[in-house]
Amino acid sequence: MTLPSPDTLINRELGILAFQKRVLAQAEDPDMPLLERLKFLCIVSSNMDEFFEVRVAGLLEQIRAQSTQRSPDGLTPKQQYRAVSDAAHALVARQYELLNGEVIPALAGHGIHFLRRTHWNEAQAAWIRDYFHRELMPVLTPVGLDPSHPFPRVLNKSLNFAVELSGRDAFGRSSGAAVVQAPRALPRVIRMPEDIAGAEYGFVFLSSILHAHVGELFAGMTVEGCYQFRVTRNSDLFVDEEENKNLRETLAGELPQRHFGAAVRLEVADNCSESMANFLLEQFELDRDALYQVHGPVNLVRLMQVPDWVDRPELKFTPFKPALPARLAKKEKLFDEIRKGDILLHHPFESFQPVIDFIEEAAADPSVVAIRQTVYRTGTDSKLMQALIRAAQSGKEVTVVVELLARFDEDTNINWAQRLEQVGAHVVYGVVGHKTHAKLALVIRREDGQLRRYAHLGTGNYHARTARLYTDFGLLTCHEELTQDVNQLFTQITGLGKAGKMKRLWQSPFTLHGEIMAAIEREAENVRAGKPAAIVAKMNALLEPHVIAALYAASQAGVKIDLIIRGVCALRPGIAGLSDNIRVRSVVGRFLEHSRIFYFKNADGEELVYLSSADWMDRNFFRRIETCFPVLNPKLKKRVINEGLKPYLRDNVQAWEMLSDGSYRRKASRRAQPYCAQSDLLALYARQK
C-alpha cells in the first residue's frame, strides 16, 4: 500500500504538544475544582519534562549528528526543533500566566496562600530565618566558581541557584559567581504554622527562603543576584542488548548516568540577569532556544503535593469508591466465578481488587501449580509482586517476564526482579530488541485430575494506583482457546522456537499489524459491496503510516470511521476526497484515557470488538510484544461498546475535535444537553452498587 504523502500527516512532536495544550485547558477551566486545576498545571510540567528528556533530546541528537532524515510529515530535525521550540515556549508562558494570574489568586480567596518574600511580615520573616538556620543551612554546600572550583555537575531536573557576588572572601578570592545546589531531600514547598501564616494554609517556596538568606552562605561578600535554575537532560538509556551478557547488571550500571546526560533545556527565573543566563547556557552547551525564563518555581511538579496537604473537599473532585462486579460481591471463590463465564472489569469505575485477588488466591491455592505474569509498570509496594513472591516460596512454578526497559520504572523493576529471583521464581527479561508491553497473567490449576488455565488480559499495567487514575479494561477468563494462546505467548517469550499460529490472539510483532490492516480492508470491501461498514477505534496514539494509508483508503471507499485518540494523531481528518469520512476526537478529563478498543462492523458476521495493550504506532506493531484479544461474550461485547466507545463519541464537555490542519477545538454543547462520558460512567457504577 502506498504510504501517505507528507502533507497528509501531522508531525509527531507537535501533536504531543497539542495534547499538552488540551491538558492545560483543564487548568484553564473555571468549572474545574480549584485544587484540581493546580494538579493539571503540575501534570503539564511532568509531561513536558518527559517530552524534553526523550523527544527533544532525540531531535538534538539528530541535529548534532547532522542528520538530514525527514520526519513522515517532511520536516528536517532542525525544522522540527524550531517548531517545537516555538510551541513549547508559548505553552510554558501560558502555564505560568495561569498559575500567577488565576490559580494562586483564586486559592488565596479560599485561605490557601503562597507567601512571597516581598510580602512577609516580621513574624513570618523571623520564622523563615529560624527555618533556614535549622533545616537548610546545615545541608547546603555553596560552590564558588574559580580555577580550583569548576562548574559543578548538575543533576537532571535538580533545583540549583546561580549567585552573582562582589567583594573578596577570607582567602582573597573574588570569582564573582557561585552555585548552590538544593539537595533533593529538601521539600520544595514548606507549610508555615497557621498562627504565623495568618491563614489556615500558608505555604512558602524553598526558593524564596534561599533567596532571602543566600547571603549568609557567603560571609563578607555582597550578593548582587540570586537566580534559581534547573537543567533537563537526555534521559534515554543506551543499552546494546545484543552485546551485553547480563541485561539487568548492564542497566543497573547505566541508570546513574541518566542524571548526567546531555543538557536539552535550561529553566531560569525570569529575573535572571542576561549575563548569568548566557553563562549558564554556555556551561550546558545550549543555544538560546533552549532557555525558558519563568515567573515562579522552575519545577511546578513539586506543587503536586499541595492538594494532598489541604483538607478542602469542595476544591477537589468528589471522591468515589470503585464498584465491584455483582458476581464477585458474594465473596465466592474467584476461580469458581470465572468458570461460570468471563468477567469484564472497567477501571477505574470498577475496582482493581479482583485482579489482585486473582493472583493472591492463586498464590495461596494448593491446587494451583503455576503462575506466569508480565510486568511492565508496577508499584514499589505492589501486592501483586508480593503475592508472586509468596507463591514461589510455597513451591509453585512462578515465571515473571519483567520489562527492565520500561522508561523511568527501571529501578523499580530491577528491584522486583532481584527479589523474585531470590525466592526461586523464574525471571526473564523478554526478547532482545522487543519490549514486553503485553498485559497478561496466567494461572494453571489442577482440577479433577486435569490442568485448567485461567488468565487475565488487560489494556493497562499491573499497577493498583494507576488503576484508579487511568481508564482501562481487563478480562478474567478460562476460555480454552484464549488461555491456550496466552500460554503459547509465554512459551515464546521464555523459550526459543518459531512463532506458532494463535487461534484468538493478535500478537505483535507477528500478526497484529496484518490483522488490523485486513480488518480495515474488510470494512472497505463491505461498503463497496453495499453492506454496512464502520470502524471505531480508541487508543492513545495513531502514527503508523501503513495503517493511516489503509484508513484513508477505507474513507475513500465510504467507510464511516470514528477515532478516539487521546494523544498524538498523525492522520488528518476531514480532507475532501481523502479523509472526509473520518472523525477524530480526543477526550481529556479527570481520568487518563488509556484503554485501546478496536471495533469493526464486520457485516459478513458478528461485530468484532478487540481490546489491546497496543496503540497504532510503529513501535507497538514491530518492536514490542503486544496482544490484542477479542471480547467473545455478547453481553460483555455490548458493555465495551456502551461504556468504552459510545459515551466518548457523545461527550460534548471534555471532548476535542481534531481539524484537518492538526489543531483541535473543544466540542461545543451550546445546543445539546451537556454530556461528560467520565462523569456519566461514575454515576452509572454508583447506581449499580
| Cβ neighbours for 391, distance < 8 A, ≥ 6 positions apart | 359, 362, 363, 368, 371, 398
Q: Are residues 530 and 645 in the same domain?
A: yes
| DSSP-derived 3-state class of residue 632 | coil
Confidence (pLDDT) at 240: 44
Least Cα distance to 593 among 636, 657, 648, 547 occurs for: 648
Determine the pLDDT at residue 259. 58
What gap in Å lies between CA 235 and CA 405, rounded to an integer?
A: 12
Residue given cell 492538594 in the structure block? 307
pLDDT digits (tens, 9 = 90+) for 466-475: 999 999 999 9
Element (H, E) at 525: helix 512-528
Checking if the pLDDT of 496 tops 80, the result is: no
More confident residue, 667 or 349: 349
pLDDT digits (tens, 9 = 90+) for 543-560: 999 999 999 999 999 999
Is a pLDDT exceeding 80 seen at residue 168? no
CATH number, domain containing residue 493: 3.30.870.10
CB 49 within 8 A of CB 232: yes
Cβ neighbours, 10 Å, residue 219: 8
- 108 shares its domain with 218: yes
CB atoms within 10 A of CB 61: 15
405 and 520 assigned to the same domain? no
Residues 381-399 have a mean pLDDT of 94
Evaluate whether residue 1 is within a structural domain: no
Crossing angle of the two packed helices 57-64 and 77-98, in degrees rounded to 10:
150
CA distances from 361 to 336, 462, 474, 475 (A): 12, 16, 18, 17
Residue 444: predicted pLDDT: 98
Amino acid 137 reads M
Tell whether 26 and 64 lie within a shared domain: yes
Question: Among 458, 479, 504, which residue terminates a domain?
Answer: 504
* 564 and 469 within one domain: no
Mark whether 492 and 531 lie in a shared domain. no
Higher per-residue pLDDT: 242 or 357: 357
What is the per-residue DSSP string for 57-95?
A: HHHHHHHHTT--PPPTTS--HHHHHHHHHHHHHHHHHHH
Q: Which of 504, 532, 558 is the last residue of a domain?
A: 504
Domain shared by 599 and 672, yes or no = yes
Q: Is residue 544 part of a domain?
A: yes
Note whether residue 321 is domain-resident.
no
Are both 168 and 301 inside the same structural domain? yes
pLDDT digits 0-9 by tens, 404-450? 765 556 777 778 888 988 999 998 887 778 889 999 999 999 998 89
% of residues, the chain, pLDDT over 90? 79
pLDDT at position 172: 56
- Which of 615 and 332 is assigned the larger pLDDT? 615
189 shares a domain with 59: yes
Lowest mean pLDDT among 136-145, 167-176, 372-381: 167-176
Residues 382 and 289 reside in one and the same domain: no
- Residues 363, 387 contacting (CB under 8 angstroms): yes
Q: How many other CB atoms sit within 10 Å of the CB of residue 449?
A: 5
Question: In terms of pLDDT, which residue wins out, 522 or 68?
Answer: 522
Question: Is 470 a member of any domain?
Answer: yes
Average pLDDT over residues 24-36: 96
Residues 511 and 495 occupy one common structural domain: no
Of the residues 469, 487, 504, which one is the last residue of a structural domain? 504
Q: Is 437 a catalytic residue?
A: yes
Does residue 320 lie within any of the structural domains?
Answer: no
Range of the domain at 546: 507-688
Q: Which residue has the cell 548569568?
A: 276
Q: Indicate if the pLDDT at residue 237 is higher than 60.
A: no
Q: What is the pLDDT of residues 271-310, one digit of tens each?
A: 999 999 999 999 999 999 999 999 999 999 989 999 999 9
Is the per-residue pLDDT at 253 higher than 80?
no
Mode of pairing for the β-strands spanning 439-447 and 368-375: antiparallel
- Read off the DSSP letter of residue 138: G
Residue 251 is predicted with a pLDDT of: 43
Does residue 244 have a pLDDT over 50?
no
Span 600-614, pLDDT tens digits:
999 888 899 999 999
* Rounded average pLDDT over 617-639: 97
Question: Looking at the DSSP assignment, which residues form a beta bridge with residue 400?
Answer: 373, 427
Average pLDDT over residues 390-417: 82
- Segment 200-221 mean pLDDT: 92
Instruction: Check pLDDT > 90 for residue 99.
Output: yes
For residue 408, the model assigns a pLDDT of 57
Same-domain pairing of 94 and 196: yes
pLDDT category at 169 given cuts 50, 70, 90 is: low
Which CATH number goes with the domain that contains 136? 3.30.1840.10
Active-site position among 213, 434, 437, 479: 437
Domain count, the chain: 3
The answer to whether position 249 is within a domain reads yes
Listing DSSP states for 226-269 in one string gives: EEEEEEEE-------TTT-S-HHHHHHHHGGGGGGS-EEEEEEE
Assign 245 a pLDDT band (cuts: 50, 70, 90): very low
Determine, yes or no, domain membership for 670.
yes
151 pLDDT above the threshold of 80: yes
| Average pLDDT over all residues of the chain | 91
* Residue 430 included in any domain: yes
Cβ atoms of 590 and 468 closer than 8 Å: no
